[in-house]
Amino acid sequence: MEAIEELAVQPCTSSLYLRPFRLSYRQNGTKKFWDFMRTHDSVSILIFNTSRQCFVVVKQFRPAVYMCEVERHHPQVFQNQDKESFPSLENPLPAVVGVTYELCAGIVDKPGLSLEEIACEEVLEECGYRVSIADLRRITSYRSGVGVTGSRQTLFYAEVNDQMRTSGGGGQPEEGELIEVVEIPLGESMKFAYDETFPKTMGVIFSFMWFHNNIAPKLPKK
C-alpha cells in the first residue's frame, strides 16, 4: 500500500469524478462568486462484527491527503498552479502520511441501484461480508465538503458475524483500489476515535459516538 513511486503533479483538465464550476450571484445586494466542484453523492457503512465485538473499517492511501502534507512541508509545489508544469517531487514524503482510516464507503454512480443496494455491494467488495438490505439500518444523511462540493453522504449501520464473511475484501484491483481491512475492538474504539496519530475521517468519529449512544447500551452485559 505504501510503495508509492514516480510522483508527478499536473493540471486536471477532465475527470470522471469531479467538475469545477464558478457560480456568480447577488446576495443582499452584493455581487459575489464562489468556486465549487460537482462530485458524486456517496454512502458509508458502520460495520460491527458481533462475533468478535469489533468495528470493521478500511485503511487506504488517499492522494489528496498525501498532497496536503506535501504542500505543508513543500509549499512551492503548488505555487505555479496556473502553469502547465509543476516542480517534480524529488524528495517525496513517505506514503504513510497519506494513509487514512475510514468507514467502508462508495460513490453513488449506478443509477439503477438504490442507496441500500450500493451499500451492500461496498461492504462485500471492500470488507468481504455479504449483507442484505434487511441487514442495513439507515442512520442519517449529511452534507460533506460544504465549502467545495456540497455532496450528500448517507450513513448506514450493519451488524455482521464471522459466518457472513465470504472473502478478504480489499476492494476492486481492476478499479485501482488497494484497501486494507482493519478491526477496531469495541473497548478501544473511542480512544481510537480521538487519537490523532491515526488519521481518520469525521465519519469514523461520528459513527463510533452514535454506536456508543444508541447500540452499546443494549448489548448483553458481560
Cα angle, residue 55 at apex, residues 54 and 61 outer, rounded to 5°: 135
The CATH number linked to 27 is 3.90.79.10
What is d(CA 196, CA 192) in angstroms, rounded to the nearest whole number?
8
Domain assignment present for residue 8? The answer is no
Domain assignment present for residue 2? The answer is no
What is d(CA 15, CA 216) in angstroms, rounded to the nearest whole number?
42
> Residues of the chain whose pLDDT is less than 70?
1, 80-91, 173, 176, 222
Q: Name the maximum alpha-carbon separation found in the chain.
A: 63
Residue with the three cell numbers 443509477: 111
User: In this predicted model, what pLDDT tens digit does every residue of 87-137 receive, in sequence order?
Assistant: 666 667 899 999 999 999 999 999 999 999 999 999 999 999 999 999 999
What is residue 83's predicted lDDT score, i.e. its pLDDT? 58
Domain assignment present for residue 164? The answer is yes
| Structural domain harbouring 67 | 20-80+91-217
Domain assignment present for residue 24? The answer is yes
What phi, psi does 190 have (nearest 5°)? -75, -35
Model pTM above 0.95: no
Count of domains forming the chain:
1
DSSP letter, residue 221: P
What is residue 86's predicted lDDT score, i.e. its pLDDT? 63
What is the grid cell recorded at 13? 483538465
What is residue 156's predicted lDDT score, i.e. its pLDDT? 98
